[in-house]
Amino acid sequence: MAAKITPRLIELTYEAVLKAFWRRKALQKFLLASHVAERFVESWTADESKRDLLDRMFLRLQATDRGKAVIFQIARNISEKTTFPDLQNWEDSDKKIQEAHKSVQELKTYLYVQDEKIKTESERQEFQERARAERQSIQKTLTDRARLQQQLDEMHAIVGSQDGGYKFEHWFYEMLDYCEVSSRRPYKTDGRQIDGSLTHEGTTYLVELKFTKSQSDATDIDSLKAKVNKMADNTMGIMVSISGYSSVAIADASGSKTTLLLLDASHLYLFLSGGMSFAEIVSRVRRHASQTGQAYLPVVHFHG
């Protein structure tokens, strides 16, 4: 049931039904079609007037939710009437039909206004619910990203340790899950340890994670290159080195048709600060590599 069953709605519905029907059988047929209980309709005695029946019916229907739904159905049905065959062939048919039209039009107008109010209220509530959900989503995003940053900050105290390496690895894939980037956790293939992989924009990247105090060097680059070269075409590599890279490592990773992208702590913190999504960061570095052959693009040069 959409509209509210108000005293005014009941009054208008009552009058419209009263004016639209004159013969007993026509009114009984209409009430049955509007889901008034057959037992009640059949209780209409010969000495009971049409007005008496409607008084009794509307009083009873107002007492329950089901009854109110029936009132609403009656209101809808009578408001849709455009002709009044039951009012034909009376001496004052024209007057009866005119009054019926007037009553039905008043009810129809009232229902229309009610529907518009409900529509506006529904839209307002829908907007409020959507805004509330968006606020909750934003708050959850900020909370989760803040948690990821706190965890990474705390890990700096154990950088270079084996335990730190394991925790960084776990953190990195939690971060990818948070970013909804498709990934695979560390695995072995042909005896080689792979730190995992991620897939972005149709390209699969083997992941190499370095959580060391010293910068990654050319040896680290060569190791990742060898792993990538053993894979299928369209496979590339992403190295994430928390302490950055030596100039030799960057030069070794770069060049014509480079298959590597190099990220460091500044790229991670760009994401954690909300500056860019991790996927956008990968896309930016990949675009730079495609355009220049350089595998590494410092965050400070992202807008250059």
Mean pLDDT (whole number) for 136-165: 85
Is residue 292 located within the same domain as residue 166? yes
Residue 136 pLDDT: 66
- In terms of Cβ atoms closer than 10 Å to its own Cβ (0-12, 13-18, 19+), residue 25 is exposed
Residue 3 pLDDT: 54
Residue 107 pLDDT: 93
Last residue of a domain, one of 93, 120, 147: 120
Q: Which residues are 261's β-sheet partners?
A: 238
Residue 224 pLDDT class (50, 70, 90 cuts): very high
Is residue 263 located within the same domain as residue 189? yes
Among 193, 251, 258, 168, smallest CA distance to 217 is for: 251
Q: How many domains does the chain have?
A: 2
DSSP string, 120-171: HHHHHHHHHHHHHHHHHHHHHHHHHHHHHHHHHHHHGGGTTSHHHHHHHHHH
Is residue 191 located within the same domain as residue 285? yes
Residue 138 pLDDT: 56
Please determine, for residue 114, whether its predicted confidence score (pLDDT) is greater than 50. yes
Residue 233 pLDDT: 84
- pTM reported for the whole predicted model: 0.56
Q: Which domain holds residue 187?
A: 159-301
Cα(212)–Cα(217) distance, integer angstroms:
11
Cα(220)–Cα(60) distance, integer angstroms:
85
Cα(244)–Cα(282) distance, integer angstroms:
16
Last residue of a domain, one of 120, 139, 169: 120
- In terms of Cβ atoms closer than 10 Å to its own Cβ (0-12, 13-18, 19+), residue 149 is middle
The average confidence (pLDDT) of the chain is: 90
Whether 134 maps to a domain, the answer reads no
Among 263, 198, 184, smallest CA distance to 236 is for: 198
> Length of the chain, please?
304
Highest mean pLDDT, choosing among 84-98, 185-199, 211-225, 290-304 = 211-225
Residue 167 pLDDT class (50, 70, 90 cuts): very high
Whether 96 maps to a domain, the answer reads yes
Among 77, 51, 104, smallest CA distance to 96 is for: 104
Is residue 35 located within the same domain as residue 85? yes
Whether 147 maps to a domain, the answer reads no
Whether 151 maps to a domain, the answer reads no
Cα(260)–Cα(248) distance, integer angstroms:
14
Please determine, for residue 304, whether its predicted confidence score (pLDDT) is greater than 80. no
Whether 148 maps to a domain, the answer reads no
Please determine, for residue 74, whether its predicted confidence score (pLDDT) is greater than 70. yes
Is residue 167 located within the same domain as residue 107? no
Among 272, 276, 255, 280, smallest CA distance to 296 is for: 255
Whether 140 maps to a domain, the answer reads no
Cα(138)–Cα(213) distance, integer angstroms:
35
Name the token pair of 10: 């009941």
Last residue of a domain, one of 120, 138, 172: 120
Residue 92 pLDDT: 87
Is residue 96 located within the same domain as residue 205? no
Is residue 114 located within the same domain as residue 176? no
Higher pLDDT, 304 or 120: 120
Is residue 100 located within the same domain as residue 204? no
Among 154, 146, 139, 78, smallest CA distance to 110 is for: 78
Higher pLDDT, 35 or 140: 35
Residue 222 pLDDT class (50, 70, 90 cuts): very high
Among 77, 104, 88, 70, smallest CA distance to 1 is for: 70
Is residue 26 located within the same domain as residue 81? yes
Name the token pair of 63: 């007492």
Is residue 184 located within the same domain as residue 114? no
Cα(106)–Cα(170) distance, integer angstroms:
69
Residue pointed to by tokens 């307002």: 124
CATH number at residue 288: 3.40.1350.10
Among 74, 96, 99, 98, smallest CA distance to 86 is for: 96
Residue 17 pLDDT: 95
Mean pLDDT (whole number) for 145-159: 93
Is residue 271 located within the same domain as residue 189? yes
Whether 70 maps to a domain, the answer reads yes
Please determine, for residue 287, whether its predicted confidence score (pLDDT) is greater than 80. yes
Strands 197-200, 192-194: pairing is unpaired
CA atoms within 13 A on the CB side of 75: 31
Is residue 26 located within the same domain as residue 107? yes
Least confident of 16-30, 87-101, 125-139, 166-180: 125-139
Whether 129 maps to a domain, the answer reads no
Residue 1 pLDDT: 42
